[in-house]
Amino acid sequence: MDDSLSFESLLRGARKFAWSAMEAHSEEDEEVFLLHAGVSIERLAKAALVRKSAFLLMELKGRDDTLYHLTGVRHTAKLRTVGAGQAIGRLRDMAVLPQRDPDLDELIELRNGVAHLMASVDDAFDGLSVFCRVTNQLLDHLSRDQGFYWGSWSTLVSITLNDLSEKVERDVARRIEQARRRLNLRFEGLPAEAMESYVATRPELEYGLQISKESAPKVFLPQKCPACNNTAMVIAGPPVIVRKGEAGESQPESMICFVCHFTLKGHEMAAAGIPSRLPLVDAAGARLLTDVEEFLWHVDPSGDDLLEEDADPADS
């Protein structure tokens, strides 16, 4: 396999395009920003795939030239690797990225639109925040230093993400209070038994692993509702077994409470204080997955590859 598909090369390329995307945004060149931000995320996503195995870059159709190239059988001048959408999809299946992130999907769609002269940008879409957030998610997964990666753009990235975090936290706090108030008003003036009876009639929650042919596996987990403190249901991504014999973990994607009807999704989860990974245990702390179910999931190795810190990605 040549150097262009190595982890280090993909990471350097992602950083180079990240810097040029930030430069274009500062100059209010929206098309160049969208194009380079999309390329940067695509290369960073491919770096995350290569970190696991170079074979994760392969398309599952067409000629075998890329297979022979990756295995060292013979060199090919025309490599066909997965596109941004499929690379992101594979990271979602691997629980690296959330299964649902409409903002990321829109950023990639806009990038493709610019490339094919079909882009139509909604003024309400904050592409910079999405770009910075997803990039940092991938950098955290790869254990890369965000300050080094962003370089002189680090302060702007921090301001952007702090502003985004404050907006999300304000919105989540407001909705928590609204859900709490609606529930309290519903039972205002009634005896405490009325609330207890209502909670007892809510749908019985079933936790555990659900496998479907149409979508990636999901795990249903118990979680205290931040609005009413009753037990809600978290829908999480595919399980990751960190160590054999121990409860695995899963990345929460959404939450619904059948008592106060409060809901959360995506990065709202963190704003409500829900950790980025939840243990696969029930309300009593017992493991949710059976031995057979755990057998289906591989141990999640933590890589220790390090990229030498270049002074400037433009030099690469």
Note the pLDDT tens digit of each residue in 277-304.
888 888 888 888 776 666 566 544 444 4
CA dihedral for 284, 266, 145, 15, sign (positive or negative): positive
Q: What is the pLDDT of residue 212?
A: 73
pLDDT digits (tens, 9 = 90+) for 17-59: 999 999 999 999 998 999 999 999 999 999 999 998 888 887 7
DSSP E strands in 71-127: the ranges are: none
Name the pTM for this structure: 0.71
Q: What is the pLDDT of residue 17?
A: 97
Q: What is the pLDDT of residue 72?
A: 58
Q: Which two tokens stand for residue 268?
A: 């709202």
- φ, ψ of residue 75 to 5 degrees: the values are -80, 145
Which residue pairs, CB below 8 angstroms and at least 24 apart, start in 154-160? 156/22, 157/22, 157/132, 160/128, 160/129, 160/132
Exposed / middle / buried, residue 257 (Cβ in 10 Å: 0-12, 13-18, 19+): buried
Exposed / middle / buried, residue 160 (Cβ in 10 Å: 0-12, 13-18, 19+): buried
pLDDT digits (tens, 9 = 90+) for 186-225: 999 999 899 999 999 988 888 888 877 767 778 899 999 9
Q: What is the pLDDT of residue 61?
A: 67
Higher pLDDT, 153 or 69: 153
Summarize the confidence of residues 135-159 as an average pLDDT: 95
Q: Which helix (H) or strand (E) holds 249?
A: strand 249-250
Q: Are 262 and 242 in contact (CB under 8 A)?
A: no
pLDDT digits (tens, 9 = 90+) for 236-247: 987 876 666 666
In whole angstroms, give the CA distance from residue 193 to residue 200.
10
Higher pLDDT, 154 or 279: 154
In whole angstroms, give the CA distance from residue 33 to residue 39.
10
Q: What is the pLDDT of residue 311?
A: 45
Q: What is the pLDDT of residue 139?
A: 96
Looking at every residue in the chain, the average pLDDT score rounds to: 83
Least confident of 52-66, 68-82, 213-227: 68-82
For residue 56, give the amino acid letter: L
Q: What is the pLDDT of residue 250?
A: 85
For residue 216, the tally of other CB atoms under 10 A from its CB is 14
In whole angstroms, give the CA distance from residue 307 to residue 309.
6
Q: What is the pLDDT of residue 206?
A: 85
Q: What is the pLDDT of residue 118?
A: 60
Q: What is the pLDDT of residue 63?
A: 58
Which residue pairs, CB below 8 angstroms and at least 24 apart, start in 112-120? 112/38, 112/84, 113/34, 114/31, 114/34, 114/35, 114/38, 115/35, 119/31, 119/34
Exposed / middle / buried, residue 146 (Cβ in 10 Å: 0-12, 13-18, 19+): middle
- Across 66-75, 89-98, 134-143, the highest mean pLDDT is recorded for 134-143
Region label for 95, one of left (φ > 0), alpha (ψ between -120 and 50) or beta (otherwise): left
Higher pLDDT, 228 or 94: 228
In whole angstroms, give the CA distance from residue 224 to residue 268.
15
Summarize the confidence of residues 69-97 as an average pLDDT: 75
Exposed / middle / buried, residue 290 (Cβ in 10 Å: 0-12, 13-18, 19+): exposed
